[in-house]
Structure 1
C-alpha cells in the first residue's frame, strides 16, 4: 500500500474531509513552516488551493467527496 500525504491547514473544512476519507494519511500543515508551503506549491504546480493529496507520487489539488 502506498503512502498518502495530505497538505493543508488543520482549520480548513476541505482538508478535514480529505483526512476523514484517508485516516491513514500523513498530514503536512502548510502553516507550520515555509518549507511545507513551498513543497505543496511545487506539487500543485503553483496552485494555492488546498488540500493537495499526494498518492503514488501523483498530486491531486482539492478534494471532492468520493475522490
Structure 2
C-alpha cells in the first residue's frame, strides 16, 4: 500500500472531498492539519513547489496536487494505478 499524506485544514470543503474519496477507496493515509501560519502549512507549501492552498496530496512522496488534481486523476482512471488498487 502506498504512503499517502494529505495536508488539510478543518472545514475546508476541498479537503473533505479529497479525504472522502481516499476513504471510499479504502486507503490508509496520514492527514496533516495545516492551519494558516503553522509549520505544517509552511511544510506543505515547500513540498508542493509553492502552492499555498489545501489540500496538498502526496503519494509515495510524489506531489499529486490538490483536490481538483486528485479528482481529475480519478476521472481519467490514473488514480487507481497510483494507489495500486487496479
Partners of 2:54 and 2:46 lie apart in 1 by 13
Alpha-carbon deviations, 1:21-60, whole Å to 9, x = none? 1122211110187221111011111111211011011112
Give the aligned CA root-mean-square deviation in angstroms: 1.8
Alignment length (residue pairs): 67
Structure 2 unpaired stretches of 5+: 80-86
SS in structure 2 opposite 1:53? strand
Structure 1 ranges of 4+ moved more than 3 A: none
Q: Which protein has the larger Cα radius of gyration, Structure 1 or Structure 2?
A: 2
Alpha-carbon deviations, 1:2-32, whole Å to 9, x = none? 1111102121101001111112221111018
Q: Which has the higher helix share?
A: 2
TM-score under structure 2 length normalisation? 0.67
Q: Which has the higher strand share?
A: 1
Residue number in structure 2 paired with 1:57 = 61
Residue number in structure 1 paired with 2:4 = 4
The yes-or-no answer on 1:48 pairing with 2:52 is yes
SS in structure 2 opposite 1:47? coil
Larger mean CA deviation between 27-36 and 7-16 belongs to: 27-36
